[in-house]
Structure 1
């Protein structure tokens, strides 16, 4: 599969789905594995890394879901192509920085992706829309079992799967969910909720993982320890916490709408106005405004399908996606102009939130009553 074919259509996990999708965008499961008789990639010489890659890549490509997959060595991808894959959460920033001896294999619907010779020899990933951690793990576990029939993974009877980083030792499992939490942010509850999540041993990160900031009110919540617990126990606990955070978010949205409808309508309306008419917009501002537009979609200011439109735009307006779209290297000002143009075009048919509120019989608290109402 060509790179252009891979990114031509939105990934399955970008098109919504069951399971808390208003507050939980995606669920992701990652498994880290290493080859028993090979040095870890970070310590291996070039020829050793090449030998490990030659062993793993055919095994990964032979998996049934990987039929017609995109398979490429990182050294054969341009910097823009690698960054597009990072922006789509299909490879890590660490893998993108590597060259010869590293590769990625990505299923055509982008529900599965494999990183070969990153920090570990093999990092497998499954992504699903909404809160579907158990389903994602079940699907990835099948691929893991198939690979173990042809690859000998490094495993210790006491410690479990051996990994480069001690925090991945044991199951090698990293389970995470991407949450959209504007209600908790606007109601000043986000700090309290995230602190509670951290206290029970879970990690909270920004849009692109460890060391990145939260943009667009998007947060990743994941497990930290993988040693001493089964995969099922880790996932059940994380699913329970994610569901609780999603419930808090939903309650916060409804309370904001009940207590201060004008404030909510103002923020949603301003976001709509800027996104529909701006001709220059920076990435950070666009993400934050799309977050408010997405909030408006979940609260009924816009049709339900507007939420999916926002999710797609969240990726398509990223810097590397814009450069790929234009087919040339862009300066910051050009990127901001093209970003605004894409947003205006995609939202052209989205009606004003005021029109939808009137059609639903709702109105601002500042709007006077008709004499017949009293």
Structure 2
């Protein structure tokens, strides 16, 4: 459920907005509202909503500015809204609720209980390795009672790194591996991990504008097993990104590994969660299951008809991105295609939605259907 403290705080309109912060909030609102931005924050930050929210804060002291500053700095944002802490979803619900409902096609009163199901229900959807280059499934987690990245102090980063690294270093079996703090990785090692799509990198302008990249590289790092099929990022955009990946299209193996890792970590620490929105993360696109299941897939025929590609993907609530992910272009007709919905469905349902959609895309690619 939503934090009772946050609900009382929001109803009472608590907040001590300093004049200089109030001026920045007003300027950010004007920048967004007077722009031609197509972002969801532009659509849902109405004058009425702005007036309700401009003078309040969360119990941790987050303001409307913390939520919208990235959208104001990047008017080409698709969403443009970040949560600086878990209570922002409650305190600023007049903005978050309609935006979340639209992005996730979420019409329910609450997110369903977590259900990973049986990974055996899935299989290798491209056993000939003709189309799918790699499969990757990840989920995000935030540790309860800590602010999210936009409001974390340097000490928060250090403390969370210590807590999480102790947990991941206790994995056994296939998941067992080693944690590497970012500040101890030599530049060549770090760049190799980035180039091979194992490690995040600094400098994303959307995250930077949201104040998510402060104190870099303090408190950041990567854990991985020897085969690099199981990875945990610490303090990138969220406190944790838990990732399972491998070459080819064996969704069952990838999903099984992620399920085991996520369930184990839940025994080690308590995550930010509520009944309405499930697991809470910095970006409202990642709440709910926080599952993003994706493939790198070669679709030369469909690439020639991007409208058809997008239309088929849309039927299954899939998102088509460039080869290097969000805000990039396709290279050699290879796309990053993933489930768009993370909220209002279980983990198992999210994987099934992606699996069914990719099967349909492969069918159209093989048939040459226009």
- Structural RMSD (CA): 2.4
Contact 1:56 1:116 in 2 (8 A): yes
Kindly tell me: are residues 157 and 184 of structure 1, through their superposed partners in 2, closer, same or farther at Cα, counting changes over 3 Å? closer
Kindly tell me: are residues 68 and 140 of structure 1, through their superposed partners in 2, closer, same or farther at Cα, counting changes over 3 Å? closer
Question: What is the CA-CA distance between 1:190 and the residue it aligns to?
Answer: 4.1
Kindly tell me: are residues 17 and 193 of structure 1, through their superposed partners in 2, closer, same or farther at Cα, counting changes over 3 Å? closer
Q: Secondary structure at the match of 2:138?
A: strand
Question: What is the CA-CA distance between 1:38 and the residue it aligns to?
Answer: 1.4
Distance in 1 (alpha carbons) for counterparts of 2:183 and 2:217: 4
Kindly tell me: are residues 39 and 65 of structure 1, through their superposed partners in 2, closer, same or farther at Cα, counting changes over 3 Å? farther
Which residue in 1 is equivalent to 2:130? 22
Distance in 2 (alpha carbons) for counterparts of 1:58 and 1:66: 17
1:108 aligns with 2:108: no
Kindly tell me: are residues 243 and 67 of structure 1, through their superposed partners in 2, closer, same or farther at Cα, counting changes over 3 Å? closer
User: In the TM superposition, what whole-angstrom CA distance separates every residue of 1:311-336 from its partner, at most 9, and x where no partner exists?
Assistant: xxxxxxxxxxxxxxxxxxxxxxxxxx
1:73 aligns with 2:181: yes
Q: Secondary structure at the match of 2:249?
A: coil
Contact 2:171 2:177 in 1 (8 A): no
Contact 2:125 2:359 in 1 (8 A): no
Distance in 2 (alpha carbons) for counterparts of 1:226 and 1:137: 15
Distance in 2 (alpha carbons) for counterparts of 1:67 and 1:134: 16
1:228 aligns with 2:344: yes
User: In the TM superposition, what whole-angstrom CA distance separates every residue of 1:121-168 from its partner, at most 9, and x where no partner exists?
Assistant: 110100133223343222211111111111111111222111111111
Kindly tell me: are residues 21 and 190 of structure 1, through their superposed partners in 2, closer, same or farther at Cα, counting changes over 3 Å? farther
User: In the TM superposition, what whole-angstrom CA distance separates every residue of 1:28-57 from its partner, at most 9, and x where no partner exists?
Assistant: 110100100212123210111100110000
Which residue in 2 is equivalent to 1:155? 273
**TM-score, scaled to structure 2:** 0.59
More helix by share: 1
1:145 aligns with 2:253: no
Counting only pairs closer than 5 Å after superposition, residues 171-250 of structure 1 correspond to structure 2 as: 171-185=289-303, 188-198=304-314, 200-250=316-366
Contact 2:125 2:251 in 1 (8 A): no
Q: Which moved more, 1:80-89 or 1:105-114?
A: 80-89
Which residue in 2 is equivalent to 1:53? 161
Contact 2:177 2:223 in 1 (8 A): yes
Distance in 1 (alpha carbons) for counterparts of 2:173 and 2:363: 34
Q: Secondary structure at the match of 1:42?
A: helix
1:125 aligns with 2:233: no
Contact 1:75 1:100 in 2 (8 A): yes
2:142 to 34, 47, 52: 34
Distance in 2 (alpha carbons) for counterparts of 1:104 and 1:65: 18
Contact 1:113 1:125 in 2 (8 A): yes
Q: Secondary structure at the match of 1:59?
A: helix
Q: Which of the two has higher C-alpha Rg?
A: 1
**TM-score, scaled to structure 1:** 0.58
Contact 1:112 1:127 in 2 (8 A): yes
Contact 2:126 2:132 in 1 (8 A): no
Contact 1:69 1:105 in 2 (8 A): yes
1:136 aligns with 2:244: no
Segments of structure 2 that go 5 or more residues without pairing to the other structure are: 1-123, 205-212
Contact 1:95 1:118 in 2 (8 A): no
Kindly tell me: are residues 227 and 125 of structure 1, through their superposed partners in 2, closer, same or farther at Cα, counting changes over 3 Å? same
Contact 1:23 1:250 in 2 (8 A): no
Distance in 1 (alpha carbons) for counterparts of 2:174 and 2:157: 22
Counting only pairs closer than 5 Å after superposition, residues 287-302 of structure 1 correspond to structure 2 as: none
Distance in 2 (alpha carbons) for counterparts of 1:50 and 1:124: 19
Contact 2:318 2:357 in 1 (8 A): no
Q: Secondary structure at the match of 1:93?
A: coil
Compare relative contact order (CA 8 Å, sep 6+) and give the higher one, 1 or 2.
2
